[in-house]
């Protein structure tokens, strides 16, 4: 007996993820016109509710990793859950509407070495390590969940920043940013003078001389995430 989960979401994002997730722990592959998720963890599950719960747990981190590496805005969801029995019959327990594709564009990089060997890299490659870290580290798991939930507003970006700061401590001393960069981000995020109703606080906090734009704030958090996750890789021996 085998459990197979059909995924719904951006076909492009699912295509990119299928290029890198091909291990027994987590495999995404194209099956005719659909993308399916398989995991050896499913072997121990006995009901569609258990498969749904476990897949939801996987997708929460995977959506955060996809958003961070591919810029995905539309979440991947469960399309259907099927039980393929030993006699070959398929029983489908859950179905859902397919989410429309996003306009995200990514590209792979192919290097052909002088000896003829071919090396190919994909934008989603880092997500493999991030998913492995999320299974080992509660802070990484929480950060990816926050990114999945909101990586588009000042509130969402600041929550991710707080997780990094809580875990890593003084990020300036670690060399991940300058004091000026950090002050510009936090003061902009907290200042009604800079952001109006989008600010984290209502009390009077003056805007910095050069308020940070939302796109710059997102780039700043992405830079911190990159440095933090590299440190996490070393900590966990990945």
pLDDT confidence bin for 115, thresholds 50/70/90: low
* Alpha-carbon 148 to chain mean position: 6
pLDDT for 73:
67
Who contacts 111 (Cβ-Cβ below 8 Å, separation ≥6)? 118, 119, 120, 121
Q: Mean pLDDT, to the nearest integer, of 113-124?
A: 64
Quote the CA–CA distance of 206 and 68 in Å, as a whole number: 31
Q: Mean pLDDT, to the nearest integer, of 39-61?
A: 94
Who contacts 41 (Cβ-Cβ below 8 Å, separation ≥6)? 25, 54
pLDDT for 123:
82
Q: Mean pLDDT, to the nearest integer, of 213-219?
A: 96
pLDDT confidence bin for 169, thresholds 50/70/90: very high
pLDDT for 183:
97
Question: Across the strands, what pairs with 95?
Answer: 80
Q: Is the pLDDT of residue 222 over 50?
A: yes
Q: Mean pLDDT, to the nearest integer, of 153-172?
A: 96
pLDDT for 32:
87
**Model pTM above 0.75:** yes
pLDDT for 107:
43
Contact (CB, 8 A) for 225 and 68 = yes
**Exposed / middle / buried, residue 103 (Cβ in 10 Å: 0-12, 13-18, 19+):** exposed
Contact (CB, 8 A) for 224 and 164 = yes
Q: Mean pLDDT, to the nearest integer, of 196-219?
A: 94
Beta-strand pair 34-38/27-31: antiparallel
Terminal-residue alpha carbon distance, the chain = 33
């Amino acid at each position: 007996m085998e459990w197979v989960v059909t995924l719904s979401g951006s076909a492009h994002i699912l295509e990119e993820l299928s290029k890198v997730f091909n291990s027994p722990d987590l495999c995404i592959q194209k099956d005719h016109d659909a993308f399916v998720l398989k995991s050896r963890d499913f072997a121990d599950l006995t009901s569609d509710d258990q498969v749904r719960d476990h897949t939801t747990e996987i997708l929460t981190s995977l959506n955060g990793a996809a958003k961070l590496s591919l810029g995905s805005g539309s979440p991947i969801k469960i399309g259907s859950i099927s039980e393929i029995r030993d006699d070959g019959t398929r029983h489908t327990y859950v179905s859902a509407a397919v989410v429309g594709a996003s306009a995200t564009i990514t590209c792979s990089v192919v290097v052909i070495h002088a000896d003829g060997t071919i090396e190919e890299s994909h934008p989603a490659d880092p997500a493999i390590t991030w998913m492995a870290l999320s299974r080992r580290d509660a802070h990484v798991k929480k950060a990816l969940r926050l990114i999945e939930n909101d990586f588009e507003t000042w509130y969402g970006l600041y929550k991710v920043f707080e997780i990094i700061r809580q875990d890593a401590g003084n990020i300036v001393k670690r060399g991940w940013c300058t004091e000026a960069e950090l002050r510009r981000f936090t003061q902009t995020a907290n200042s009604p003078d800079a952001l109006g109703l989008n600010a984290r606080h209502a009390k009077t906090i003056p805007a910095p001389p050069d308020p940070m734009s939302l796109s710059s704030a997102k780039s700043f958090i992405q830079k911190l995430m990159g440095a933090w996750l590299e440190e996490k890789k070393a900590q966990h021996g990945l």
